[in-house]
A and B are shown apart, each in its own frame.
Chain A
Amino acid sequence: MSGDATMRVEFALNGRPVSLDIDPAERLLDTLRYTLGLTGSKEGCGEGECGACTVYMDGLPVNSCLVPTFQARGRAIETIESIPPESLGAMLASGATQCGACTPGVVMTACWLRKHPELLKTHTAREVMAGNLCRCTGYDGIVDGIRDAMNEKGTA
């Protein structure tokens, strides 16, 4: 049990161990942004709708605005800061980003799909991307970028 004060959490963040004392009421998104200074993950809606806060938890995309930080204990968390910029050429070329607010989340989900091409046997790229809202591109640029990235050799 943990009382009203702080709570010790340890987890792997982008491959490195971190150990923090947190407020038990903290969301993972806030821990990442305000305690750890990783401001790539954005808050759009705060209700799990827009996907701008998408990070990986044990390899699966999650909305970090809906994860209490204490549930990250012992897990592997990966954020947009772990994605090498040079892997995003196809998405830049296709016009997958305009204002950029949704982009960190879009990139996280798109890179997850690229790591798991077997998902395309059961899902369309659009269904996989359904949890990332974009109000600029109309989505075609995003879907084209994903298609091109998945066709690139040796980037998976």
Chain B
Amino acid sequence: MRIFSPATLEEACAILAREKGPPTPIAGATDVLVHWPMNLAAKERDYLDLSRVDSLRPMRWSEDSLTLGAMTTYWDVVRDERVGREFPLLVKAARQVGAVQIQSRGTWAGNIVNASPAADGVPALMAYDAVVVLRSSAGEDEVRLDEFYLDYKKMKRRADQLVAAIRVPRRPHDVQIFEKVGARRAQAISKVGLAIAHSSAGWRVVAAAVAPTIRRCRTVEAMLERGDAVRSADDLLPALRKDVSPIDDIRSTSAYRERVLARLLYHDLKGVCPSVT
């Protein structure tokens, strides 16, 4: 196990391009270190520690977007009043990640590349049309977060690329809803998650823990855009079944997940979407 500790983003990219493996980038390490003493395979790998790259730390506002550096933690967002005003789903999601001890170390970029189907931060970012900014020695690429995942833990990130930042477009939203259903209120991993947003860009419905990746429910979104009448949670099921494919696992069952997702969605939309009554 070797540790690389670059001080700059350029240096970090050069290490990723050069070293065999390549080293696994780590930010807050809260996913990598779980049950660490027993995880012998993890000690065979090399790591690229991003925690000393100061340029990855801050959040930056521009006229049309908020950029979260790759080292921006959940707690950074929870404590930022401006983020709370403009992007309340980010704060709601962050407060449901583990507890303060995890929020203070865990990062948004780490949540994206850990690629858990039950991630809390990713659905909120995806509902805001976030863009993943990838850096390598060859240059910079941008991928929409809703096009970033290919399959379970498969992403459009080359091994020599680092997630350097996440850019979230600023636009006024008139609907912003975040739901997380877990075994208890804190320290839980989602059985079902949901983020809903509406703006001039249209409806965004993003579901968690009901597919191999966090999933934008485009069939449901199209239904809402068309104004199809929805009079019960069951009316959403045909569309939802095209968008998600929940499974039975240690945390829940396929039937429970589908039923709860449809009901959350129906009750959340009733009153904010005119075609849902």
Contacts and interface: CB of A to CB of B under 8 A. Distances in A.
Given A51-B101, A61-B101, A67-B105, A130 B35 contact: no
A1 B5 CA distance: 6
B65 to A, nearest CB: 25
Interface string A16-55: 0000000011010000000000000000001111010010
Contact of A68 (B29, B52, B75): B29
Contacts of B37: 27, 46
Interface string A105-131: 000010000000000001000011011
Given A24-B3, A60-B75, A63-B101, A48 B185 contact: no
Interface in B81-125: 95, 98-102, 104-105
A66 interface: yes
B4 interface: yes
A54 B98 CA distance: 14
Contacts of B185: 130
A109 B1 contact: no
B72 to A, nearest CB: 14
Contacts of A7: 3
B36 interface: yes
A142 interface: no
A25 B2 contact: no
A61 B223 CA distance: 45
B187 to A, nearest CB: 6
Contacts of A54: 101
A67 B4 CA distance: 16
A1 to B, nearest CB: 5
A72 B33 CA distance: 14
Contact of A62 (B52, B95, B104): B104
B137 interface: no
A2 B34 contact: no
B267 to A, nearest CB: 24
Nearest to A105: B101
Given A1-B5, A4-B1, A130 B187 contact: yes
Contact of B3 (A70, A109, A131, A133): A70
A127 B36 contact: no
Contact of A48 (B4, B51, B52, B101): B101
Contact of B98 (A2, A70, A131): A131
Interface of B: 1-5, 15, 26, 28-30, 33-37, 43, 47, 49, 51-52, 75, 78, 95, 98-102, 104-105, 185-187
